[in-house]
Amino acid sequence: MSTAKIRLYVEHPLGEGQTVPLDCDQAHYLFGVMRQRTGDALLLFNGQDGEWRATVAQASKRGGELLVEEQTRPQQNPPDLWLLFAPIKKARTDFIVEKAAEMGAARIIPVQTDFTNSERIRQDRLQAHAVAAAEQCGGTFVPDVTDLQKLDRLLGNWPDNRHLMFCDEALAGANEAVRQDGHAGLWAILIGPEGGFSDAERARLHALPFAHPTALGPRILRADTAAVAAMTVWQQRFGDWA
């Protein structure tokens, strides 16, 4: 039995004896880039059915077919945690999405704030980064990356049962904030843009009953660093790291 060294996300049901067709891009990656051949093994996941070992049944330049053989890992879903962040420079936005997927975000929501530099994103490209991160880190779940949403509209339609960890750079040094707001249940994390939140946004967020202003240590962090730090703090207190 050959060793599986490749993990591939597929949008297809997975089960013993199932066949999985490959599209042109997947065939190019497996057979053109990774030099896979008929009989070679790989690991598949679809975000719902866990991880499965499969072998190449048919291989061609424009397609192919995989045969699913056995489950290697059960489905493991992360806690229902949303990450809201203001898009920044392209590479650093990609970094936030990739790390959020690795660290267990269930949903990733780019938001437009008063000081957000970008007025649009490539949602399909960011979703592809989330898929790639799950493939590389061994995850069986891929978070949904939404299109860009206006923060004020999102807050206006906020679900009653979800807390919001509002990472306020103005509270740098006030480490007690996250410890005092120890509520279990559904959560989201909000990270601001490079220029921080506006006075109006900060005032509104502090007034919202579901928002919990939180400091991330004694220093003001860059937006991409803040996303990783905030998810680490949350996962250790409320998530599946505890």
What domains are defined for the chain? Answer: 7-73 (2.40.240.20), 81-237 (3.40.1280.10)
Q: How confident is the model at residue 180 (pLDDT cuts 50, 70, 90)?
A: very low
10 Å Cβ neighbour count for 120? 10
Q: What's the per-residue H, E or C state across 26-40?
A: HHHHHHHHCCCCCCC
pLDDT digits (tens, 9 = 90+) for 75-93: 999 999 999 999 998 899 9
For the entire predicted model, the pTM comes to 0.92
CA distance 160 to 173: 30
Whether 65 and 30 have beta carbons less than 8 Å apart is answered as: no
Mean pLDDT throughout 182-199?
Answer: 88
Mean pLDDT throughout 109-114?
Answer: 96
Mean pLDDT throughout 215-220?
Answer: 88
Per cent of the chain over pLDDT 90 is 82
